[in-house]
Amino acid sequence: MNGFFDIPSDLQHSYLGLIGLHLREALLPVLAGLLLALPLAQLCVRFRWLYPPVLGATTILYAVPSLAFFVVLIDYTGQTELTVMIPLAVYSLVVLVPAIVDGVRSVPRETLSAATAMGFGPVRRYLQVQLPIAVPAIVAGLRVATVSSISLVSVGTLIGNQGALGNLLADAQKYDRPELAVNSVITTAVLAILCDALLVLLRVALTPWMPKATRGRPKTGARRQLPAPQDVIR
Amino acid sequence: MNVLNFVNAFFSDSAHWHGYDGIPQRLFEHVQYSLLALALAAAIGLPVGLLTGHTGRGGNALAFIATAARALPSFGLLVLIVIVMGFGLLPVMIPLVILAVPPILVTTYEAVRSVDPSPVDAARGMGMRESRILFQVELPVALPLILSGLRSAAIQIVSTATIAAYVSLGGLGRYIVDGLYQRDYEKVVGGATLVAVLALGTLALFWAAGRLVVSPGVRRR
């Protein structure tokens, strides 16, 4: 009866249902963050003076703890999935903007000149030259954003059962069934590792020109530029 | 501005300012837990990071540890350890330290690795011992990045220590968790504000520390 995958009925979900819910709550915000980050990063590359204030503002936003973020939003969005997803989207945005800016900036000047000489306009040059070359840096940012987003969804259980797999943690205490907590932690970690691996595969697929030997590690030169939020884990 | 009204009401209520559940007491607890966790994590992460960074060995192992630690949900780990070990300070310290070590470790490793090799070679050519090279050449240059790793860890600890109130520890998270149970929204928002302010204070503290300890020659780059 008290099996590992027996989900208490108060959660109204099967094990697979919880996983689906968890992925939706974690990945939609990352997607939203990416869609917002691309134009914002492009603005920062175009107008250099914009980057330091944007970086400062995002660093401050990132310092706001997720639980604090969630509860402040309850007043506006209620105890819904949206309350969990908005902070996660903001965190993704914060991680992705510097990643994209550094990636796009790392494109060598000669490459840009060559593209211009071949008659590429600014839009086409951005889409077909700068973005593809920035893919490794962007995917590195996406990996951090995705993994932390998947792990942060669990905190949503504190604001009224909006934590998907994290709700198992509350139930583990409520019904004195520790195996539910083990299930929650392991499943969340496995989901994070799987999504991380998928992103690595995506990068390999998107950068067929890169030699195999250097695929595993991003260039140290690009690495050095990355600001602190990249390494924040919550 | 509804939230601002709540914040105002919370901080102007004098009952929140003294006693066992008062703001100074909770703030003190929170800072205490955070400092202890950061000190433990730094005591583990800094020496290992400096050593692996200096020798250049074990980079892959560190990357693996960092990925694994990132994948672990911090909140889930906290609840799980408390369920298994029971309540107390130690069960809360374990997940906080586990989560703070990787950013310190990896950033320190990367920071020492990415130091320009020419001054290091010059120091070695002048006959400096390895330990002096590490502490007098590599460490000063790597310091800004090492500090940013410590800052990431510190902010992560401050925000995760909030969640520790859920497993019956004190600290600023008490206001948020208790407030949610009591449907006392004023308390929740007040607690959230305090934690956010503390996190921003940590940010400012590290900025000031960077200005203070980082050599001007390194900073100007």
A18 vs A173, more confident: A18
Are residues B176 and A68, on separate chains, in Cβ contact within 8 Å?
yes
Q: Of A77, A158, A173, which to mutate for an interface test with B (greatest number of B Cβ within 10 Å)?
A: A158
CA distances for A223 relative to A28, A125, A173, B91, B145, angstroms: 27, 24, 42, 35, 11
- Looking at residue A2, its pLDDT comes to 59
Contact A67 B76 (CB under 8 A): no
Copy the structure tokens of residue B121.
Answer: 């070679």
**Residue ranges in chain B whose pLDDT is less than 70:** 1-3, 18, 219-221
pLDDT computed for residue A159 by the predictor: 80
Rank A74-83, A175-184, A223-232, B184-193 by mean pLDDT and report only the highest.
A175-184
Is the pLDDT at A194 greater than 80? The verdict is yes
CA angle, B93 as apex, B90 and B94 as ends, to 5°?
90
pLDDT at A83 over 80: yes
Which of left, alpha, beta for B72 (phi over 0: left; psi -120 to 50: alpha)?
Answer: beta
Question: How many angstroms separate the CA atoms of A160 and A164, rounded?
Answer: 11
B103: chain A residues, CB-CB within 8 Å: 231-233
Residues of A in contact with B2 (CB under 8 A): 75
pLDDT band at A139 (very low <50, low <70, confident <90, very high): very high
Q: Which candidate from A64, A159, A178 shows the least CB-CB separation from B84?
A: A178
Residue A230 predicted with pLDDT over 60: no
CA pair distance A26, A30, nearest whole angstrom: 7
Higher pLDDT, B112 or A219: B112
CA angle, A111 as apex, A110 and A112 as ends, to 5°?
90
Q: Do B79 and A169 touch (CB under 8 A)?
A: yes
A178 interfaces chain B, CB cutoff of 8 Å: yes
State residue A186's pLDDT score.
92
Distance CA(A182)–CA(A173), nearest Å, equals 12
Note the pLDDT tens digit of each residue in B142-187: 998 899 899 989 988 998 888 888 877 888 888 888 887 887 878 8
CA distance A28 to chain B (A): 18
Residue of B nearest to A153 (CA): B73
Is A142 a residue whose pLDDT tops 90? yes
Mean pLDDT, chain A, integer: 83
In A, which residues are within 8 Å of B200 by CB distance?
A: 60, 63
Range from A137-141, A160-164, A215-219, B198-202 carrying the lowest mean pLDDT: A215-219
Which pLDDT does position A224 carry in this prediction?
A: 41
B76·A185 Cβ contact <8 A: yes
Comparing CB atoms, the residue among A67, A147, A152 nearest residue B176 is A67
What DSSP string describes A147-158? HHHHHHGGGGGG
Q: What is the pLDDT of residue A218?
A: 46
Highest mean pLDDT among A60-74, A87-101, B170-184: A87-101
Chain B residues with CB under 8 Å of A78 CB are none
pLDDT of residue A63: 74
- Taking Cα atoms as reference points, which of A94, A227, A234 lies closest to residue B144? A227
The yes/no answer to whether this complex scores an ipTM above 0.85 is no
Nearest to B180 among A148, A158, A223 (CB): A158
**pLDDT of res. A219:** 43
- The pLDDT score that the predictor gives to residue B45 is 92
A–B CB contacts, 8 A cutoff, strictly below: 161
Average pLDDT (A176-182) is: 87
In this prediction, residue B1 carries a pLDDT of 52
Chain A hits for B199, CB-CB cut-off 8 Å, are 63-65
